[in-house]
Homo-oligomer: A and B are copies of this chain.
Amino acid sequence: MSPSLPRSVRLLEVGPREGFQFEGIGKPDKIRLEDKARLIEMLSRVGLKALQIVSFVNPRQVPQMADAEEICRRLSPVPGVTYSGIYLNDTGLRRALAAGNLKITGKVTLTASESFALRNQRRMLAQDFEMQRKMAALYREHGYAVETGSVMAAFGCNYEGKVPLARLLELVARLQEVAAEVDSTLRTVTLADTMGWANPEQIRRSVVAIRERWPELAINLHLHDTRGLGIANVYAALIEGVDRFDTAVAGLGGCPFAGHRGAAGNVCTEEVVFLCRELGIATGIDLEALIECARFAETIVGHPLPSSLLHARVTPVPAEPVAA
């Protein structure tokens, strides 16, 4: 039916980073450091190979991530699992380099929307481009090639609307430029649907167009389920052979600066794993153990999380017959 479905996919679990950042808005002490550490530990043992666990951002703006260094310090890395963080400027990158226990990847990021960049990065797009050049130089200084590019708000923005494909391609080209300046070549580009604007056909068109122009570039998708299309977008990407996704256990997450409240977060890790299992695509992840993590995540945030699969609570054993 879909001959191009990948045989296996790689997931980057972003729930600890996105989820704790989002859940802690206005109540930075809501989630205890011990619980964060415990969830990271549990997620390290389900078969996930990569976890994004912290943001190195301004603790005055995002106090719920002020414990980023402490989380890294306490981490007992599980062999075979890599841990990473995000940062939006050179100060954050320096913190990440110093934190220890983290895998550093040379990564540059541009944003398709000026309005969103002003809110999230506090920079105009031109300033943001200069910041990426500065960070690329800093990576080089520390011996890292710039191998990953990322486009935020890649498909649309709550402030500026739909992002045209030509604009997306232009941003990928600019990311390549930044990498080239430090004699690097991008190996992967992440398209982040930060505010949940993508639709399945748009995902397919975008993947096809990027692959046509840069056949060597691997595509990773970071999708949100804001408007209910998250898993359909994953399926559309799988049809086009995409084999890398950022996902969040229980559907944790959401961007604090995205201009919506109460919205669903990232696509749920367990739903993506379930979809892959149903389609015969390997993930290497123990779904039952992952659902235990999702249940724990819900416990520590103290309210229901978006995952449908988590709440399905299917009873496989026949109950007493009752009928309509």
Interface of A toward B, CB cutoff 8 Å:
1-2, 5, 55, 57-58, 61-62, 88, 115, 118-122, 158-159, 195-196, 199-202, 204-205, 208, 225-232, 234-236, 256-257, 259-264, 268, 271, 274-275, 278-279, 304, 306-309, 311-316, 318-319, 321-324
Q: Are B118 and A321 in contact (CB-based, < 8 A)?
A: yes
CB of A110 to closest CB in B, whole Å = 16
Q: Which residues of B contact A323 (CB under 8 A)?
A: 61, 118-122, 257
User: Would you list 20 pairs from A and B whose C-beta atoms are within 8 A, ordered by A residue?
Assistant: A1-B205, A2-B204, A61-B322, A61-B323, A115-B318, A119-B321, A120-B323, A120-B324, A121-B323, A122-B321, A158-B315, A159-B316, A200-B275, A200-B279, A227-B309, A228-B271, A228-B274, A232-B235, A261-B315, A264-B312
Out of B57, B158, B268, which one reaches A314, CB within 8 Å? Answer: B158
Report whether B228 and A309 are in contact in the complex, using a CB–CB cutoff of 8 Å. Answer: yes
Taking the full assembly, how many copies of this chain does it contain?
A: 2
**Chain B nearest CB: distance from A111 CB in Å?**
12
A312 in contact with B260 (CB, 8 Å): yes
> Of B199, B257, B304, which is within 8 A of A279 by CB?
B199
> A128 CB to closest chain B CB, in angstroms?
12
The residue from B62, B88, B231 contacting A228, defined by CB atoms under 8 A apart: B231
Whole-angstrom CA separation of A195 from B228 in the bound complex: 19
Measured CA separation A311–B231 after assembly (Å):
17
Q: Please, which residues of chain B bring their CB within 8 A of the CB of A314?
A: 158, 195, 226, 259-260, 263
Contact residues in B for A57 (Cβ distance below 8 Å):
324
- Pair A235/B119 contact, Cβ less than 8 Å: no
Question: Is A308 touching B158 in the complex (CB atoms < 8 A)?
Answer: no
> For residue A275, which residues in chain B have a CB less than 8 angstroms away from its CB?
199-200, 228-229, 232
A-B contact sample (17 more), CB < 8 A, given A159-B318, A260-B314 = A2-B201, A58-B324, A119-B318, A119-B323, A121-B323, A158-B316, A199-B279, A202-B278, A227-B274, A228-B268, A228-B274, A231-B231, A232-B235, A260-B312, A262-B312, A263-B312, A264-B312
List 7 tightest A-B contacts by C-beta distance, closest first.
Answer: A122-B323, A199-B278, A228-B271, A228-B308, A232-B235, A232-B232, A264-B308
A119 to B321 alpha-carbon distance, docked (Å): 5
Kindly name the residue among A57, A115, A229 whose own CB sees the greatest number of chain B CB atoms within 10 A: A229
